[in-house]
């Protein structure tokens, strides 16, 4: 992608922040996992917030925080170990002084490699919605008129059963707010998919992300049983599929998600055998 096309996706006022993916972000194919691209997007937002004076310590001192309510991410290509990345992010709009939409982009040089659209809620540390004050609006400049990330079109599929796996969360997984951080939900969805592929004798490590969206409903803490569902629901192009997910604690739905995935070296017929 040329620099001109890339620049059309972000305002020139959006500052670039360096992004470093650690070695453990990469699969044996030396491509970044989808959840770690989500973590990179989160780091860019944290860096931008700190740059305008709202550091994690300042949020803590005011007993407030932003948490993600939903996020959609498009992978224009897989990230490689040798990529030198920068990220840009900017707020787009606010609703009721409590819900804020934000765009984020990752670049390798001048090449746009990932786009994300996020909705954040402004909360107290007890998870109560609160209204942002003038100090928040003074710090974060909103920029409208740029494209949002979306899932690609799909052809619906029916008749495939839901597959599930259950695990218990670790205390060591807790983030600074004392719950599972939002990119981990993408890991959970991809693990459910990978288990279904491996059970069918397919190479789960060839799983390749194209896009995903997650809507968060409830926090998940430590030492609880979590069930992850995966359901084949659509075809995307010649070699990708749309998968639907639910993440539950007992009967409580904590998040819903959709992922668009390829299995490198295999056509979409392979997915049918794995999910029958």
Q: Are residues 170 and 250 in the same domain?
A: yes
Query: Last residue of some domain: 139, 171, 196?
Result: 139
Let me know if residue 243 belongs to a domain.
yes
Let me know if residue 83 belongs to a domain.
yes
Q: Are residues 72 and 198 in the same domain?
A: no
Q: Are residues 173 and 98 in the same domain?
A: no
Let me know if residue 60 belongs to a domain.
yes
- Number of separate domains in the chain: 2
Q: Are residues 35 and 129 in the same domain?
A: yes
Which span out of 123-127, 143-147, 254-258 was modeled with the highest average pLDDT? 254-258
Structure tokens at 197: 């592929």
Q: Are residues 75 and 22 in the same domain?
A: yes
120 and 102 in contact (C-beta within 8 Å)? yes
- Phi, psi angle pair for 164, to nearest 5°: -140, 155
- Whether the pLDDT of residue 2 is over 60: the answer is no
Let me know if residue 149 belongs to a domain.
no
Let me know if residue 168 belongs to a domain.
yes
Q: Are residues 165 and 236 in the same domain?
A: yes
Q: Are residues 116 and 9 in the same domain?
A: yes
Per-residue pLDDT tens for 10-55? Answer: 898 999 999 999 999 999 999 999 999 999 999 999 999 999 999 9
The DSSP bridge partners found for residue 139 are none
Q: Name which of 159, 226, 155 is nearest 192 in CA terms.
A: 226
Q: Are residues 219 and 130 in the same domain?
A: no
Q: Which domain holds residue 251?
A: 155-275
Please tell me the distance from the alpha carbon of residue 69 to that of residue 120, in angstroms, as a whole number: 5
- Whether the pLDDT of residue 187 is over 90: the answer is yes
- Whether the pLDDT of residue 4 is over 60: the answer is no
Instruction: Please give the pLDDT value at position 235.
Output: 97
Let me know if residue 146 belongs to a domain.
no
Q: Name which of 36, 2, 13 is nearest 212 in CA terms.
A: 36
pTM for the structure as a whole: 0.94
Instruction: Please give the pLDDT value at position 1.
Output: 36
Percentage of residues in the chain having pLDDT higher than 70: 97
Let me know if residue 148 belongs to a domain.
no
Let me know if residue 85 belongs to a domain.
yes
Q: Are residues 102 and 161 in the same domain?
A: no
Q: Are residues 98 and 176 in the same domain?
A: no
Q: Are residues 7 and 135 in the same domain?
A: yes
- Whether the pLDDT of residue 5 is over 50: the answer is no
Crossing angle of helices 34-51 and 183-199, in 10° steps, is: 170
Q: Are residues 170 and 270 in the same domain?
A: yes
């Amino acid at each position: 992608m040329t620099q001109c096309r890339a620049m059309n996706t972000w305002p020139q006022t959006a500052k670039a922040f360096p992004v470093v993916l650690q070695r453990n972000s990469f699969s044996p194919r030396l491509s970044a996992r989808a959840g770690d691209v989500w973590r990179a997007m989160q780091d860019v937002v944290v860096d931008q917030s700190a740059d305008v004076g709202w550091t994690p310590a300042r949020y803590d001192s005011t007993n407030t925080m932003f948490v993600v309510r939903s996020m959609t991410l498009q992978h224009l290509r897989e990230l490689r170990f040798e990529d030198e990345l920068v990220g840009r992010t900017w707020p787009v709009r606010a609703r009721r002084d409590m819900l804020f939409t934000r765009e984020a982009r990752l670049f390798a040089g001048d090449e746009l490699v990932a786009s994300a659209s996020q909705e954040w809620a402004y909360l107290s540390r007890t998870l109560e919605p609160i209204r942002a004050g003038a100090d928040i609006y003074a710090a974060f400049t909103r920029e409208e008129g740029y494209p949002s990330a979306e899932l690609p079109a799909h052809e619906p599929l029916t008749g495939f059963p839901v597959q599930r796996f259950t695990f218990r969360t670790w205390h060591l997984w807790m983030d600074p707010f004392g719950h599972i951080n939002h990119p981990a939900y993408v890991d959970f969805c991809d693990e459910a998919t990978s288990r279904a592929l491996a059970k069918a004798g397919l190479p789960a490590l060839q799983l390749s992300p194209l896009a995903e969206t997650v809507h968060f409903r409830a926090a998940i803490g430590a030492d609880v049983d979590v069930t992850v569902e995966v359901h084949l629901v659509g075809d995307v192009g010649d070699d990708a599929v749309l998968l639907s997910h639910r993440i539950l604690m007992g009967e409580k739905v904590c998040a819903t998600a959709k992922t668009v995935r390829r299995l490198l070296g295999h056509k979409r017929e392979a997915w049918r055998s794995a999910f029958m």
